[in-house]
Chains A and B, each alone.
Chain A
Amino acid sequence: MPKTITIDPVTRIEGHAKITIYVDDNGTISDAQFHVTQLRGFEKLSEGRPFTEMPSLMARICGICPVSHLMASAKACDNLMAVKVPVTGHNLRKVMNMAQIIQSHALSFFHLSSPDLLLGMDADPAIRNILGVAAKRPELAKDGIRLRQIGQQMIELLGGKRIHPSWVVPGGVNAALTAEHRAAMLKEMPEIKEIVRRALNWYHPVVKHYQEEIAVFANFPTLFMGLVNKNGEVEYYDGTLRFMDSAGNIVSDGIDPSEYDTWIGEKVESYSYLKSVFYKPMGYPGGIYRVGPLARLNIASKCGTPLADEELAGFRSIQKGPVSSSFHYHYARLIEILNCAERVEDILKDDECMNPHVRAIANPNCFDGVGVSEAPRGTLIHHYRIDENGLIKWANLIIATGHNNLAMNRGVLQVARHYLDGLNPKEGMLNRIEAVIRTFDPCLSCSTHAAGQMPMQIDIQAPNGEILKTITR
């Protein structure tokens, strides 16, 4: 009789989710679904609010990446005002966005995923966490905590507070940089690079033990999408959208972010509050694509900074063409931290960053505005429509985790097929299913525009809905 296995909740990711695995009469897995079980409705509740409130309102979607929402939202509002943000305002936003990427990648790599890598996928869940890492390899845990601290402190130095700063406003930012804060941030950049260097030195030998996981952790051909700048380099804040196929061919390039809906479709599935996003020209679900660090490094010609480009060469040597295993998201994250530190240094070393002109002022001049930026987890799209008085009439958000939804589902299926032995899932299998999700560093709070923490349960279910077996922890 066909059976269903449910993993609920999934741990060490941001948000609430559960996983269902369907087992048919022959004991083989027929399908797997990744359910996001929460709904918050930010698009709806923003209706009727003044657009000037949007960056701060939308930042409340998430406490981990509020800055990413601030960026995309403020950019959408810039377009509603039809203004050109002053160069310094623009660059200071970039610095904050990269500080956000640094702290969020640190959280994903060190706090959430390093326990799997250091202690092993089969380790006892009770110790397979950041505290277990601190016990076994304290310097690794310390580095992670310190890196996150630096990123968060940079956000605070720029915006006045670490979480939900209201400094990013439509038209730019609302306060210029002080010499003291500039110096404080610049001082930290060498340490970021040292931490990443140490992490890479640890990661490279460790990853050799995970060849089996690399082979099945969402390792399949998909498209990749992200922003690139005019030189085709990695871009986190501005630029145009690029799609690359699994063979490394650029299939769409130079897409103006405001035309995202020509290329990107959203599909609602009955099993999840998280919409499945796909590349329209290839239809659903054939238009499966991935975003985030792995995709950004795959689609770009280079990182554009020396240390990151040096490391990118190593990343490129993993395989010919785009790197296909989602396991390598971890590696890509470390390279991006390096890239961000170097770019922040470039911006802050230029005296232009001290220019007091950081904000453009205007009333709304357009009724439709799209803002796209790269969040740590991938491309983030905010799209607003307003009435003639500047009140929001309609909003649509596409979050990084939404772009990755199809790939996460397929990744879960791939891992389950590889590790599941009939109806008796081993602890290691469950861990690996969670770990494959974790490579994407999904933020479910964001993706359903929802919040909370995630815990794990497995239901084995008959086709009539009867639960035959439940495993919880």
Chain B
Amino acid sequence: MAANGQIKIFTLKIDGKDVSARSDQTVLQVCRENEFFIPTLCHLEGLSNIGACRLCMVEVAGQRKLLPACTTMVSEAMEVTTTNDKLAHYRKMTLELIFSERNHTCSVCVSNNHCELQFLSQKLGINHIRVPYRFPKFAVDASHPYFILDHNRCILCTRCVRVCDEIEGAHVWDVSGRGIQAKVITELNQPWGSADTCTQCGKCVNVCPVGALSEKGRSVAENTKRSGFLPYLTARRKEKI
């Protein structure tokens, strides 16, 4: 975006193809507008971007490092590569590491067949996990009257944290711990059912890409999500419709 706040139109190359973009767009937005496939897990239309999952890494000419497409703004004459062997290698490795960190057993997961992690793994051709599984033991928090939190399925995308803070305005969720100890918590690491700030709106459950958050009473493979509502909700609130 220009310094005076005016939006410009840039021309850039994505995988050798000339495209135009608004200066307030991210590389990911422009790629998706032009139907270039870039995998994402932490990104969700309607929420802020944090570049946490590292699946949307792209190559930008002149940059030594790979850049996350979701947090990289477009610039004039930028040359972006979305698909090559190196990127495919890193993306697969990233997914494998996510799988190894927790207990993602699709066949008995409430989100089986409705899971973004599972979908991406199939799309990117993950058929083996080449690193050892860690098999952590996390207790399931089923104290909430309507919802269940299963850390064993969590990928720490923090969509729940952001949707609760940015859209619902309740900020029930946070992340505690660092690195491998990190986990999402409700209030100050209290059982979800005792969280007074929770409005029980269920937005966190609907944006969760995996089976970490689900509605109570859903059996295996029954956890369908409605995450498409977010852009509309945000737009309607801005417009005060």
Which chain A residues have a beta carbon within 8 Å of chain B's beta carbons?
48-50, 52-53, 55-57, 60, 164, 166, 169-170, 174, 361-363, 389-391
Interface of chain B, main secondary structure: loop
- Find out whether the CB atom of B222 lies under 8 angstroms from the CB atom of A48: no
| Nearest 7 A/B pairs, CB to CB | A56-B220, A389-B142, A169-B219, A166-B220, A166-B221, A57-B108, A52-B219
Greatest chain B CB density within 10 A among A48, A53, A361 is at A53
- Find out whether the CB atom of A174 lies under 8 angstroms from the CB atom of B219: yes
B4 proximal to A (CB < 8 A) = no
* Residues from chain A with Cβ under 8 Å of B216 in the complex: 50, 52, 363, 390
Interface residues on B, range: 10 to 19
Q: Chain B: which residue is nearest A168 at the CB level?
A: B219
B124 CB → nearest A CB, Å: 24
- Find out whether the CB atom of B148 lies under 8 angstroms from the CB atom of A50: yes
B107 proximal to A (CB < 8 A) = yes
A328 CB → nearest B CB, Å: 38
Q: Chain B: which residue is nearest A77 at the CB level?
A: B219
A sample of 14 inter-chain contacts (CB < 8 A) reads A48-B139, A48-B140, A49-B140, A50-B140, A52-B218, A52-B220, A53-B219, A53-B220, A164-B107, A174-B222, A361-B217, A390-B142, A390-B216, A391-B140
B183 CB → nearest A CB, Å: 16
Q: Chain A: which residue is nearest B109 at the CB level?
A: A53
B158 proximal to A (CB < 8 A) = no
1/0 per position for B210-241, CB-CB distance to A under 8 A? 00000011111110000000000000000000
* Residues from chain A with Cβ under 8 Å of B107 in the complex: 56, 60, 164
Known contacts: A56-B107, A60-B107, A166-B112. The answer to whether A363 contacts B217 by CB under 8 A is yes
Q: How far, in whole Å, are A362 and B217 apart by their CA atoms in the complex?
A: 7
- Find out whether the CB atom of A169 lies under 8 angstroms from the CB atom of B222: yes
User: Assuming A52-B220, A56-B220, what are 8 further A-B pairs, CB within 8 angstroms?
Assistant: A48-B140, A52-B110, A55-B219, A57-B220, A166-B219, A166-B222, A169-B219, A391-B140
Greatest chain A CB density within 10 A among B140, B142, B222 is at B142
Q: How far, in whole Å, are A349 and B110 apart by their CA atoms in the complex?
A: 34
* Residues from chain B with Cβ under 8 Å of A60 in the complex: 107-108
A353 CB → nearest B CB, Å: 22
A197 CB → nearest B CB, Å: 38
B213 CB → nearest A CB, Å: 12
Q: How far, in whole Å, are A421 and B234 apart by their CA atoms in the complex?
A: 85
- Find out whether the CB atom of A170 lies under 8 angstroms from the CB atom of B219: yes
* Residues from chain A with Cβ under 8 Å of B220 in the complex: 52-53, 55-57, 166
- Find out whether the CB atom of A391 lies under 8 angstroms from the CB atom of B219: no
B189 proximal to A (CB < 8 A) = no
Q: Chain A: which residue is nearest B191 at the CB level?
A: A389
Q: How far, in whole Å, are A169 and B143 apart by their CA atoms in the complex?
A: 22
Q: How far, in whole Å, are A369 and B139 apart by their CA atoms in the complex?
A: 22
* Residues from chain A with Cβ under 8 Å of B110 in the complex: 50, 52-53
* Residues from chain B with Cβ under 8 Å of A362 in the complex: 217
- Find out whether the CB atom of B217 lies under 8 angstroms from the CB atom of A53: no
Q: Chain B: which residue is nearest A57 at the CB level?
A: B108
Q: How far, in whole Å, are A174 and B110 apart by their CA atoms in the complex?
A: 13
A57 CB → nearest B CB, Å: 5
Greatest chain A CB density within 10 A among B107, B112, B217, B219 is at B219
- Find out whether the CB atom of B143 lies under 8 angstroms from the CB atom of A389: yes
B88 CB → nearest A CB, Å: 31
B102 CB → nearest A CB, Å: 14
* Residues from chain A with Cβ under 8 Å of B148 in the complex: 50
A102 CB → nearest B CB, Å: 25
* Residues from chain A with Cβ under 8 Å of B217 in the complex: 52, 361-363
